[in-house]
Chains A and B, each alone.
Chain A
Amino acid sequence: MNATILRLELLRQFREFMGLFFIVILPAFFYLIFGASMDFSDAPAGNGNVAMSIMIAMAAYGAVVATTSIGGQAAVERMQGWGRQLGLTPLRDSTYVATKALVAVIIAAMPIALIYTLGGLTGAQGDTRAWVLSALIVIPGAALFALWGLVWGLAIRSESAIAVASGSTVVLAFLGNMFMPLSGTLLTIAKFTPLYGYAALARYPLTEGWLATMDGSDLAREPLWVPLVNVAAWTVLLALIATLLVRRGRARQ
């Protein structure tokens, strides 16, 4: 790991105010509006309350926006010739990837820290195990979505890839059951979308698989293998596509 490069890469993220807005401020705002300020926020949910559940979802959402945009940036930068410039230095590819990953984790930790603090101040409740475990699941889970950004960056090869990748996370977050509880057919479809498994796993220490509903119908409990299979399948699929796209890029050079 190289301290100067890590510092400069972090500096680049902090200078990008609009990026930080979507990563940190917007999800925190969502939590306050859709979580903390709602009447149902102190209704019980698993080992805690609904506010806690929404808090975890919003922190997970912010973390995913962070890793997606950093992954997309990395791909676009390399495509646009920075990769060639770095190819003229002793810097190893593995060091470069590790630095970018660490930057992604640090930036992804920001919305988690802010939203968990807000949660603690505004009445999110859960047992200690749920607080700690959910945060620990969100970070590596979000790292997976660096691949989502990477795939778009490799496919589109321009700055618009970053917009497509991080913009698409809004839709995927809806389908991932992160913004509001889904039910019926939509929930069945949702289980196949990439953010579903990640969000369900992050909330698992709190809910232990019990799904929230909007209409007061009977609660259903989802077995742990559903989100696990979702995450595993999407990881393999995205990694496969990324590999194919890297090969295509190399052949064309």
Chain B
Amino acid sequence: MHLRGLRKSFRSSSGPVVAVDGVDLSIGYGEIVAFLGPNGAGKTTTLDMVLGLVEPDAGTATVMGMRPRAAVQAGRVSALLQTGGLLRDLSVAETVRYIAATFPRPRPVEEVLARAGLTELARRKVSKCSGGEQQRLRFALALLPDPDLLVLDEPTAGMDVRARREFWDTMRAEARAGRSVVFATHYLQEAEDFAERIVMISGGRIVADGPTAQIRERNSGRLLSVDLPRHGAEDLLSDLRALDLISEVSTSGNRVLMRAADTDAAALALLRDVGVSGLEIASADLESAFVALTGNAPAEAPAGTGARTRPDHGPAAASTNGTGPARSAHPSEENR
């Protein structure tokens, strides 16, 4: 799959909106790649162009060396799309038969139902299926042409934790069978758990692209922060930088921010050996991952703007002296 200078904008009531703003990307055979980005980052629009559902304003997309529409017609690429797209009055098996009938040589209906774990639900009406079951049905439809490339747009949206785990177990089995998988998600964990490579998208552009191991290393799981004392701040910082357990020591207002792979050991060392106060541990979310990987907050925040240019957001922000780290400037931040 090759994307070159892909660009797409839409008209909206408040003027044109650029959804995809120059995406260049190549994905090789057998790769499992996550498109990671917040809502509205341009993930769906990019994938729609890969599938030939939307024509780009500029740039080209080729899949398996073909134009997207031709690749779809040849059954080389298929997709599980976001919500919608099913006929509620058909049964599960009828839906699979309907779509199977459009392909010249589909996989057998029974086999596809079994692989998606739907054999027992075959006679159930689509309208009576849960969100997770409907998503498995969409997955079964995507398996019908036996594609080389499987595109999944927010595949676990609307699933509970258990359904989500089951879904990814199934997906791993498919990937082992030698398919390339590209999936869009806004769950960092999902991208880390399943993808071999993560492509981060924000504001219609690729902001980071690399092997998952490398990204996990740079965005090492959790964030720690402690108070920056009025006196002896420099001593504390040099003590912290000397610790092997923590990395990326930085200051923001009167807080010191750090990352650690093993936060339990790091917290113990900080409290016992360094003698810090006001320790807080937060799991890294998508926003902090963006900050860690790109130095910028995702989506609407332009490069270089930090918390200082934003107004406070209630008492939580005020307690960190009104400035706080960049990520707490976002109203959606919730784990401090």
Spell out A's residues near B (CB within 8 Å): 2-5, 8, 11-12, 15-16, 77, 80-82, 84-91, 251-253
Assuming A84-B81, A88-B79, A90-B75, is B98 touching A5 (CB within 8 A)? Answer: yes
A65 to chain B, nearest CB (A): 19
Question: Which A residues are CB-close (under 8 A) to B102?
Answer: 2, 5, 86, 89-91
A107 to chain B, nearest CB (A): 15
Q: Is the interface of B mostly helix, strand, loop or mixed?
A: loop
B243 interfacial contact with A, CB 8 Å:
no
Cα A35 to Cα B225 in complex, Å, equals: 86
Q: A90 contacts B97, CB within 8 Å?
A: no
B29 interfacial contact with A, CB 8 Å:
no
Question: Which A residues are CB-close (under 8 A) to B83?
Answer: 81
Q: B97 contacts A8, CB within 8 Å?
A: yes
A222 to chain B, nearest CB (A): 43
- Convert B73-97 into 0s and 1s, putting 1 for each residue whose CB lies closer than 8 angstroms to a CB of A: 1110011010111110110001001
Q: Lowest 9 A-B CB distances belong to which pairs?
A: A81-B84, A81-B85, A4-B101, A89-B102, A91-B102, A85-B85, A90-B73, A87-B53, A8-B98
For B70, the closest partner residue in chain A by CB is A90
| Apart from A88-B53, A90-B104: 18 A-B pairs, beta carbons within 8 A | A2-B102, A4-B101, A8-B97, A12-B87, A16-B89, A81-B81, A82-B85, A82-B87, A84-B53, A84-B81, A84-B84, A85-B81, A88-B141, A89-B72, A89-B102, A90-B74, A251-B10, A252-B10
Cα A238 to Cα B83 in complex, Å, equals: 31
Interchain residue pairs with CB less than 8 A apart (25): A2-B102, A4-B97, A4-B101, A8-B90, A8-B101, A15-B89, A80-B84, A81-B81, A82-B85, A85-B81, A85-B141, A86-B102, A87-B51, A88-B51, A88-B53, A88-B72, A88-B81, A88-B142, A89-B72, A90-B72, A90-B73, A90-B104, A91-B102, A251-B11, A252-B10
Among A2, A12, A80, A89, find the residue whose CB has the most chain B CB atoms closer than 10 A: A89
Q: B72 contacts A84, CB within 8 Å?
A: no
Number of B residues near A (Cβ < 8 Å) is 32
- Convert B134-154 into 0s and 1s, putting 1 for each residue whose CB lies closer than 8 angstroms to a CB of A: 000010011000000000000
Cα A152 to Cα B85 in complex, Å, equals: 20
- Say which residue of A3, A15, A88 sits within 8 Å of B78 (CB atoms): A88
Q: B103 contacts A90, CB within 8 Å?
A: yes
- Say which residue of A77, A88, A89 sits within 8 Å of B87 (CB atoms): A77
Cα A3 to Cα B74 in complex, Å, equals: 21
Q: B98 contacts A4, CB within 8 Å?
A: yes
Cα A80 to Cα B79 in complex, Å, equals: 17
Spell out B's residues near A (CB within 8 Å): 10-11, 51-54, 72-75, 78-79, 81, 83-87, 89-90, 94, 97-104, 138, 141-142
Assuming A4-B97, A8-B98, A81-B81, is B86 touching A89 (CB within 8 A)? Answer: no
Among A5, A82, A85, A87, find the residue whose CB has the most chain B CB atoms closer than 10 A: A85
Cα A88 to Cα B84 in complex, Å, equals: 14
Question: Which A residues are CB-close (under 8 A) to B53?
Answer: 84, 87-88
A193 to chain B, nearest CB (A): 32
Q: B72 contacts A82, CB within 8 Å?
A: no
Q: B101 contacts A5, CB within 8 Å?
A: yes
B318 to chain A, nearest CB (A): 42
Cα A8 to Cα B109 in complex, Å, equals: 15
Question: Which B residues are CB-close (under 8 A) to A8?
Answer: 90, 94, 97-98, 101
Question: Which B residues are CB-close (under 8 A) to A81?
Answer: 81, 83-86
A28 to chain B, nearest CB (A): 25
Cα A86 to Cα B142 in complex, Å, equals: 11
Among B81, B90, B101, find the residue whose CB has the most chain A CB atoms closer than 10 A: B101
Question: Which B residues are CB-close (under 8 A) to A2?
Answer: 101-102
Assuming A12-B90, A90-B73, A251-B11, is B97 touching A85 (CB within 8 A)? Answer: no
For B53, the closest partner residue in chain A by CB is A87
B102 to chain A, nearest CB (A): 4
A74 to chain B, nearest CB (A): 11
A159 to chain B, nearest CB (A): 9
Question: Which A residues are CB-close (under 8 A) to B138?
Answer: 85
Cα A53 to Cα B141 in complex, Å, equals: 50
Q: B54 contacts A84, CB within 8 Å?
A: no
B118 to chain A, nearest CB (A): 16
B40 to chain A, nearest CB (A): 15
Question: Which B residues are CB-close (under 8 A) to A15?
Answer: 89
Question: Which A residues are CB-close (under 8 A) to B51?
Answer: 87-88
For B54, the closest partner residue in chain A by CB is A253
Question: Which A residues are CB-close (under 8 A) to B81?
Answer: 81, 84-85, 88
A131 to chain B, nearest CB (A): 36
A98 to chain B, nearest CB (A): 14
Cα A11 to Cα B79 in complex, Å, equals: 27
Q: A89 contacts B99, CB within 8 Å?
A: yes
Assuming A2-B102, A8-B98, A90-B102, is B78 touching A82 (CB within 8 A)? Answer: no
Question: Which B residues are CB-close (under 8 A) to A87?
Answer: 51-53, 72
Question: Which A residues are CB-close (under 8 A) to B97?
Answer: 4, 8
Among B11, B53, B102, find the residue whose CB has the most chain A CB atoms closer than 10 A: B102
A10 to chain B, nearest CB (A): 12
